[in-house]
Chain A
Amino acid sequence: MTEPLLEFRDVTIQYQTNRGPVTAVSGASFSIEPGEFSGLVGESGSGKSTLVKSVIGGLDSNGEVTAGKILYKGEEIQDYTEEELNEKIRWKEISYIPQSSMNSLDPLQRVSEQAVEIASVHSDLSKSEALERFKELFEIVGLSPDRIDDYPHQFSGGMQQRAITALALFLDPALIIADEPTTALDVIMQDQIFKYLDRVKANTDTSMLLITHDISVVFESCEQIAVLHGGQVCESGSVEDIYRNPTHPYSILLQRAFPDIRYPDRKLEIIEGHPPEQLGEVTECSFVERCPWAVDACYENAPPLENVSESEQNHQSACFRNDETHALKGELTELAGLTDGGEPNE
């Protein structure tokens, strides 16, 4: 196996508050391979934003990676300073598409000027080379190349999001981290963005880490998925494996909570409660309070990520009852179109 591009190894991130340390991420492990699109799924309070910030910098000043390692191309980056991140990582290696694209372009600068500025700080591209490249990228993300000299306010919300994507691709990074890139957009606009991200995937060898609460877009657009709940990685693996054979109770329920337009009469699953706020060290499964199948062991320890089956590569789940959930799932109402561990539909 090749070396992963980005790897989280047992990462724990804590915020120091006046009530004591709050654990936002605990013992999270997963990795992104070169050229792969990977989705990180979790609801609010799952720790997904914290995890992203730990890579690109920008953790609040009271937050810190207290255990584990974040490896980028084999190098530990969790303790990088701002300068090191700027010099070695940002734009060139990892670029970032923030959730609120509207606020991340400088309103007083033409988009092309912002690109040239990034080029001059982070690369040796000449101005004309930079503009040439930027035009190509505008084409890829579906914007007309003669609009690179526009000001941000001349673009609509969806177009700004694409302009940001073009900027993110600008220095040919190995990885793009997209934090809920389409959450604020309508479905048609969202689909347009993903249409162009598909194109990015086809035309470049950039990897992507897509942070979202929407399991549907990950199933459609990514190859790998990691499901995050209360700061713990519940389950990770290929989207196909997790679609066909979700093993962690949270992934099982989450999958069933999503509406599928093909089956409008599906009774959607409800997951009661919300992810806990972990004060201090984490000593139990973070899903235990919401899990219909919790047993005593779940309160005593946080379950480790373990391989689910030999046939499914990289498919790991963190549940003490990994072997049983398949059977337990039978208690749930049958969902139209979801065959139990069987073959794909259609």
Chain B
Amino acid sequence: MEVNPMNETPVLEIRNLEKYFTRKGGFLDSLFGSSKEPIRAVDDVSLALDQNEVQGIIGESGCGKSTLLKTVIGLTDPTGGDIFYKGKPLSEFSKRDWKEFRKNVQIIFQNPFESLDPKFTVRESLIEPLKIHDIEYSEERIHDALDRVQLNPPQKYLDRLPKQLSGGEKQRVSIARAIIVEPDVILADEPVSMLDVSTQAAILRLLSDLTEELGLSMLYISHDLSTVSDICDLIHVMYLGRVVETAPTNQILGQPRHPYSQALIDAIPIPDPFSDRPRTALDGSPPSPEELEAGCRFKDRCPERMPRCDTAPKKVETDPDQFTACHLHYEESDSRPNTEAALQGGNTQ
């Protein structure tokens, strides 16, 4: 991970996070005592989010990015590793710490059509988090929040129900709801993927401006690399529960080192009839997370597959600030330590 120049504690840090789902075997299994391998939805993920930094987590559906998010916000408990908020691990949180955390870390969901209670007016949706956190509020604060998400004039929207708002407007209300308690961190789960393209850019720019203005940090989750360039400083590419590559946005778009990042970028359609982009060389779809073999998770679809891929690759610094977990980028004899592990001071794999 990036070495923090100021040597400050990151706002949010994830170390070797694991979320395994144990599967209940069927009746016969329990009879014969065979136990099933757990589903490794999130497997050894580490990242550190600094103040006012925006990081993206990119991956296809089923790669574990949403599970990661739910774990980070404490909606499910991790099965391994830990999450640190301002240096303190969630596992050691007191009740008061949790309350603080719940106020300071807010989440925005993908589906604007379901992220507001259909029975709540905009005003009620905005007041709710303030009430939960016993924050004194004034009409002005509510207006101000709507103002910030460019719902003008606020009076026009305050008494509307979600069904009286367009998709983009709903997503703006969700954002207003998240920022009204003045959090430090926003977790955004594909906030634009269900919106029309004409609105997408507007919401992205709004999020980008807000993080700037309010000094927020953000973890932005998406399956779409083409929309994140505007907003993310750093990108993690995730495949089947693991982060395969981490790099600053422009670097990952310009010179992806992991074959999977390369494939993701190559598959993005280009709005230009004259471009001769070849279609993707990848076949098939990711294997089900239930039947993972040892070694690199991408090996079965990888055009560069080698015998070495049967062992798990370590993550090495392939370029400045760019970390790639792929055997292509180091020799077997390479004695470089697993960079990430070294930086985290932990051991992986």
Which A residues contact B (CB, under 8 angstroms)? 43-44, 142, 156-159, 186-192, 194-195, 198, 213-217, 219-220, 239-240, 243, 253-255, 257-262, 264-265, 268-272, 274, 337, 344-346
Contacts and interface: CB of A to CB of B under 8 A. Distances in A.
Contacts of A156: 285
B268 interface: yes
Contacts of A243: 271-274
A194 B274 contact: no
Given A186-B61, A188-B60, A195-B279, A261 B270 contact: yes
27 contacts: A43-B196, A43-B198, A142-B283, A158-B285, A187-B60, A187-B224, A187-B264, A191-B266, A191-B267, A192-B280, A215-B271, A219-B270, A219-B271, A219-B273, A220-B272, A220-B277, A240-B274, A243-B272, A257-B197, A257-B200, A259-B201, A264-B229, A268-B205, A270-B201, A274-B198, A337-B272, A344-B272
Given A215-B271, A216-B271, A260-B272, A192 B283 contact: yes
Contacts of B253: 261, 264
B280 A259 contact: no
Nearest to A196: B279
Contact of A254 (B197, B226, B265, B277): B197
B214 to A, nearest CB: 21
A43 B249 contact: no
Interface string B255-277: 00000000111111111111101
Nearest to B198: A271
Contact of B223 (A187, A214, A268): A187
B268 A261 contact: yes
B79 interface: no
Q: Which 4 A-B pairs have the closest CB atoms?
A: A264-B229, A271-B198, A344-B274, A216-B269
A269 B205 CA distance: 10
B202 interface: yes
Contacts of B200: 257, 268
A192 B60 CA distance: 14
Interface string B194-238: 001111111011000000000000000001111101100000000
B273 A240 contact: yes
B272 A345 contact: yes
A216 B270 contact: yes
A165 to B, nearest CB: 15
B60 A264 contact: no
A213 B196 contact: yes
Contacts of A272: 202
Contacts of B60: 186-189
B226 to A, nearest CB: 4
A188 B267 contact: yes
A189 B285 CA distance: 7
B56 interface: no
A235 B264 CA distance: 32
B282 interface: yes
B166 interface: yes
A310 B195 CA distance: 37
B200 to A, nearest CB: 8
B250 interface: yes
Contacts of B264: 187-188
Nearest to A199: B279
B277 to A, nearest CB: 7
A98 to B, nearest CB: 19
A192 B282 contact: yes
A213 B197 CA distance: 8
B280 A265 contact: no
A259 B253 CA distance: 13
B78 interface: no
Given A213-B197, A243-B273, 16 more contacts: A158-B285, A186-B61, A187-B225, A188-B263, A188-B282, A216-B271, A219-B271, A219-B272, A220-B272, A220-B273, A240-B273, A259-B227, A260-B272, A261-B229, A261-B253, A270-B201
A270 B285 CA distance: 34
A346 B273 CA distance: 12
B271 A255 contact: yes
Nearest to A215: B271
A186 B197 CA distance: 16
B101 to A, nearest CB: 32
A261 B226 contact: yes
A268 B230 contact: yes
A207 B283 CA distance: 25
B64 interface: no
Contacts of B269: 187, 190-191, 194, 214, 216-217, 219-220
Interface in B269-302: 269-275, 277, 279-280, 282-283, 285
Contacts of A240: 273-274
Nearest to B169: A274
Nearest to A225: B273
Q: Which of B227, B253, B270 has the most CB of A within 10 A?
A: B270
A220 to B, nearest CB: 5
Among A215, A219, A265, A269, the one with the most B-chain Cβ atoms within 10 Å of its Cβ is A219
Contacts of B271: 215-216, 219, 243, 255, 258, 260
